[in-house]
Every structure is written in structure tokens, then in C-alpha cells.
Chains A and B, each alone.
Chain A
Amino acid sequence: MAGPLLDDLLRPLVPQVVGVLTRRFGDFAAAEDAVQEALLDAVAQWPAEGVPGNPRGWLVQVASRRMTERIRNEQARRRREERVTAQAPADRRTAPAADDELAADRDDTLTTLFLCCHPALTPASAIALTLRSVGGLTTAEIARAFLVPEATMAQRISRAKQRIRTSGLPFRPPLPGERAGRLASVLHVLYLVFNEGYAGSAGPDLQRVELAREAIRLTRTVHDLLPDEREVAGLLALMLLTDARRPARTARDGSPVPLAEQDRSLWDGAAVAEGVALITATLVHGAVGPYQLQAAIAALHDEAATAAETDWPQILALYGLLERMSSGNPMVSLNRAVAAAMAHGAETGLGMLGALEADARLAGHHRLHTARAHLLEMAGDRHAAVEEYRVAASRTTSIPERDHLTTRAARLAAMILEDPGDP
């Protein structure tokens, strides 16, 4: 949008300014549009005229002016149509005292985030709205990140705001009774943004916003605002520990490199250290949640100097806890079976996979076949492993993974031809 420096300055201000305008005019959807327009003004003017002394105040002023113009135009239009303007007076409150301003900004950032991640919205629209209203990205940037046309993304955002309006969702922090559930929704949306950063990206593209980094930035903001929420810390640690492996998880030709084969010297040591410190400090408080457990597992992987030194018994124990907590999420059970194979041998893991096949959510899923292929190869049953790799390749929806699995099947099949004697 405007170069990294201006971006760093502008984007954290966006949810704050949206908050101020929403409280002043009582209309989140319109406030959000006005702030986007003010942002474009800032990007056009600041590089030439210099950054104003009070950037936040400048944005509030410009966005308010846009908002007032909008209301005036709207009222004029209504008068022309000779309809009675029953526009309620703006929900204007007295401006907060200067020393309250910081607290209000912090609250506004959180309130905007809670609203954008409201469970009344579909995940796709919550993600888009969050990236715009809290992340301060433009519609064009979000569209590019998700590889859809800008008009489509604009509609998705506009529908999300429409839904907020028609559902009558208020701009206020969640009530105490709903707070835990609403925070879980926020964390889920941030988690999805992070995952999309992996699933959607095909190598470095300077024109595209890095969604995984953006998810980390937003989760860090939430962690700064809510330092005592341990699942927030857990999610931030999980993202840092996973993202740290990014330089090693893709080969030069774009094919994925499995964890066991990654060059660990390429991992981002600073991110690993930060993630490990964060999850260690969080876990001492007890009362763990799913994100903390996943972060603890990621930390055990990241702390192993070689794949062979991985503490699989500990990882297996953590997956056991996670399985009980995630009320039968079959993907967790699948990962636990793989950990059991690493800790106690392939046969143990294959036995656990066998029990999972009855689960309709997992039947035919490529990850079940991928796991079984690996464990069969580990157990020395090469013929069956080749078959499973082929099935897994035909089921995955990721092109690099399909290519990786196909290559793996072909390589193993060639080995069988060279040395047909099954062990």
C-alpha cells in the first residue's frame, strides 16, 4: 500500500479510528468505509506533505469529515425523494478526557476485533472484515492475498457489514457471560488467517500481503492487550514456532519438505526462542487449552537439534491431552497415531489408524492415507506403502503435496523393482 514505514504507522491506528467514529456516529459499517477513505487520503498526502504531528487525530478528523459529508449527501438524497428524514441523531458521546484516550484506543481495537469475528458472520467474511477493519489492509490487498477479484472481495466485506447491521450487533465489548466464547471466535479467525497464509501462497510474491505474518502481527496485538489470556499467548507461540520453520519447509523447486527431512539450520532461531519462551512462561500457570498444547508440541519439535532427537514420548502424551480436550477431533487422533508410531513403533501407529478408519470424517481423507503410507514404509511394507502414497496423491487438494506424494510413490516403486525381495 504505502511502503512499510507508513504501513507500520497507519495500520495499528485503523481499529482505533474505526472505534472512535463508530461511537461518535453509531454506524460501524459507514465508519469503516470512512476510515478506509481517510487511509487512502493519508497514503496520497503524507509522503509529499509530511506525516502530521498527531497521525491518529488527523485520521479521526479526515474520516469524520468524510462521514459528515456522507450523512449530508444521504440526507439531501432523502429530501429530494421527499421522504421524511428520521435519521436518528448521531450517537454522540462526550469526547473522552485526554488521559482516557489510550485506554479507549485499546478497548476500541479489541471491540472492533470482537465485532469483526462475531460468530454471526461466516468464517470467510469474518476473515476479510478483520483484515480490513483491524489489519488496515485495503480491499485490493485482501483480494490479491486470497486470489479473488477485487469486486468479489469488496462484496464479501460489504455483506459482512450488512450482516452486522441487520443482526443489530452493537459496538461494545462482549458481555462477561459471552466473553470466553467470543474470544475463541477471534482466535479461530486469526488461526484461519495464518493457515490461509500457508495454503494459498505459492512462493514469495512481493505484490501479495503475507497472511501468516499478518496473523502473527494481529495475534501479537491481542496478546499485548490481553496478556493474561493464556490461549492468546498459546496461539501466538504456536504461530511463531510454526512460522519459524517456513524457510526450510519448501525446497527450491517449491515442493514441500517433511519435518523430518528439513534443514534445521534454516529455521528462524529468534522466532523459535520467542515462541519457546512464551509457551514456557504460559504453561507454568496450569489450566492449559488446545492452542497452548499445540504450541508445546511445536516447541518440542523446534527444540530438537535433529529429527532423531525429537522427544516423541512427550509429544505423544501432549497429543493424548489434546485429544481429550478437542472432543474427538479426528485430525488430532491421526497426529497422535503418528506420534505413537514414532515413540513405540510403526505397528502401534498402524493399529491406531485402523481404529480411525471407521470415522466418517476421516474416511478417504488424504491425510489418513498419507499417514498410513509413511507408517507402512516405516514398517517395511513397501508394496502397500506405494499404494497408499498413490491414493493420498489422488486425494490431496494441494498441488505441491500431490507432486511430492506422487514422486515418493514412484521412488519407492523403483526401489521395489531393483530389489523385489520383500523383507
Chain B
Amino acid sequence: MKYMVLMQFNAEAGFPAIGTWPVEDVTAHIAFMRETSEKLVAAGELVDAQGLAAPDQAKIVRAGEGGAPVVTDGPFPETKEFLVGYWIIDCEGPERAVEFAAYVSAAPGPGGRPLNMPIEVRQVMSAGPPEEL
């Protein structure tokens, strides 16, 4: 079963943005994330993992007159929560996906303390028809 595991940053999560952390904490956090992906590969579970550029580089696009794109630049003052990155894992079942989410939730933050950030787990739908047997 495939799951998308989404890491959200919440402005009200109780910890500052990573750019303001001491350098050793930033390094530890980055190393943790790299090792996490390596562990997923070693477990035969990694499908994809991506980090997203900061939301102040985001654009909101709507179709305008005749379908022409109408672009609004970020940042969006009302945004309290935004997507930082995601993993797609192929694992035995929902329990394993939840276990993995808890693991990344505890990624080290300032002072090496676990961030315990909220992680969203979503099952990926299959493109095939339902099983028939």
C-alpha cells in the first residue's frame, strides 16, 4: 500500500522557523532528514521524497479571461500552515505508515529536542480498477 506522508509547518507549532536555529541544530535536522530517506530505501519502502521551496516563492494561479493564467505572488499573510515536503512510501499497511509518521514527527529541533510536528498520512489511490477476486 502506498501512503503520502506530509510534513506541515505550522506557525503556531511552538518552535521558530528553521532559519533562526543555531547552526548545529540545523545540521542535525538536515542529517536526520537525509538518514530518514536512506532508511526508507534500505527498507525497500521509498517511492519518492521531495522538499518544497519556501512558501514565499509560491504562486497562486487561476485561469482568467480565455483560460489565461492569472498569477498572484506569495507570501500570503493569512497562511498559518504550509507544506514543507513529503514522502511517498510503499509499505505493508497503515500501521507502518503511522509508525513512520511518528518517527519523522520527532525530527530534532532547537537544542536537539524533538519537534513533534503534525504529520499528515494519506493513502495514495490506485490508478487501476478495484480488485475483483
- Chain A residues close to B by CB (< 8 Å): 122-125, 128, 146-149, 151-159, 191, 194-195, 198-202, 238, 242, 245, 249-250, 256, 294, 396-402
Determine which of A155, A198, A201, A294 lies in contact with B41 in the assembled complex, contact meaning CB atoms within 8 Å: A155
The smallest C-beta distance from A75 to any residue of chain B, in angstroms, reads 27
| Complex contacts, A156 vs chain B, CB 8 Å | 44-45
The smallest C-beta distance from B42 to any residue of chain A, in angstroms, reads 6
A-B contact pairs, 25 of them (CB 8 A): A122-B92, A125-B44, A148-B46, A148-B47, A148-B90, A149-B47, A152-B41, A152-B45, A152-B46, A152-B90, A153-B44, A155-B42, A155-B43, A159-B43, A198-B132, A198-B133, A242-B133, A245-B132, A249-B129, A250-B129, A399-B125, A399-B126, A399-B127, A400-B127, A401-B130
Known A152-B41, A294-B133; judge A398-B47 contact (CB<8 A): no
Which residues of chain B from 39 to 55 have any CB-CB distance to chain A below 8 Å in the complex? Answer: 40-48
Known A146-B90, A397-B123, A398-B125; judge A256-B43 contact (CB<8 A): no
Report the Cα distance A329→B127, complex, angstroms. 26
Is the CB of B95 closer than 8 A to any CB of chain A?
A: no
Q: Please encode chain B, from 79 to 91, with 1 for each CB lying within 8 Å of some chain A CB and 0 for all others.
A: 0000000000011
Closest 5 CB pairs of A and B: A156-B44, A202-B127, A155-B44, A256-B129, A401-B130
Report the Cα distance A14→B114, complex, angstroms. 49
Pairwise interchain contact A198-B129, C-beta atoms closer than 8 A? yes
Which residues of chain B from 16 to 53 have any CB-CB distance to chain A below 8 Å in the complex? Answer: 40-48
Which residues of chain B from 83 to 133 have any CB-CB distance to chain A below 8 Å in the complex? Answer: 90-92, 123, 125-133
The smallest C-beta distance from B1 to any residue of chain A, in angstroms, reads 8
Pairwise interchain contact B126-A199, C-beta atoms closer than 8 A? yes
Determine which of B44, B92, B128, B130 lies in contact with A201 in the assembled complex, contact meaning CB atoms within 8 Å: B128
Report the Cα distance A294→B131, complex, angstroms. 14
Report the Cα distance A157→B125, complex, angstroms. 24
Report the Cα distance A402→B125, complex, angstroms. 9
| Complex contacts, A397 vs chain B, CB 8 Å | 123, 125-126
Known A124-B92, A152-B41; judge A398-B132 contact (CB<8 A): no
Report the Cα distance A148→B44, complex, angstroms. 9
Pairwise interchain contact A202-B45, C-beta atoms closer than 8 A? no
Pairwise interchain contact A199-B44, C-beta atoms closer than 8 A? no
| Complex contacts, A153 vs chain B, CB 8 Å | 44
Pairwise interchain contact B132-A242, C-beta atoms closer than 8 A? yes
| Complex contacts, B126 vs chain A, CB 8 Å | 199-200, 397-399
Pairwise interchain contact B129-A195, C-beta atoms closer than 8 A? no
| Complex contacts, A154 vs chain B, CB 8 Å | 44
Determine which of A122, A147, A158, A199 lies in contact with B131 in the assembled complex, contact meaning CB atoms within 8 Å: A199
User: Of residues B40, B42, B90, B130, which shows the largest number of chain A Cβ atoms within 10 Å of its Cβ?
Assistant: B130
User: Of residues A123, A154, A198, A202, which shows the largest number of chain B Cβ atoms within 10 Å of its Cβ?
Assistant: A198
Which chain B residue lies CB-closest to A195? B131
| Complex contacts, A245 vs chain B, CB 8 Å | 132
The smallest C-beta distance from A49 to any residue of chain B, in angstroms, reads 36
Pairwise interchain contact A123-B92, C-beta atoms closer than 8 A? yes
| Complex contacts, A201 vs chain B, CB 8 Å | 127-128
Report the Cα distance A25→B4, complex, angstroms. 43
| Complex contacts, A398 vs chain B, CB 8 Å | 125-126, 128-130
The smallest C-beta distance from B114 to any residue of chain A, in angstroms, reads 27
| Complex contacts, B127 vs chain A, CB 8 Å | 200-202, 399-400
| Complex contacts, B123 vs chain A, CB 8 Å | 397
Which chain A residue lies CB-closest to B127? A202
The smallest C-beta distance from A245 to any residue of chain B, in angstroms, reads 8
Determine which of A148, A202, A238 lies in contact with B128 in the assembled complex, contact meaning CB atoms within 8 Å: A202
| Complex contacts, A194 vs chain B, CB 8 Å | 133
Report the Cα distance A256→B127, complex, angstroms. 11
Pairwise interchain contact B133-A400, C-beta atoms closer than 8 A? no
The smallest C-beta distance from A265 to any residue of chain B, in angstroms, reads 19
Report the Cα distance A155→B128, complex, angstroms. 25
Report the Cα distance A305→B28, complex, angstroms. 67
Pairwise interchain contact A151-B128, C-beta atoms closer than 8 A? no
Known A147-B47, A152-B47, A155-B41; judge A198-B128 contact (CB<8 A): yes
Which chain B residue lies CB-closest to A397? B125
Which chain A residue lies CB-closest to B123? A397
Report the Cα distance A401→B123, complex, angstroms. 15
| Complex contacts, B125 vs chain A, CB 8 Å | 396-399, 402
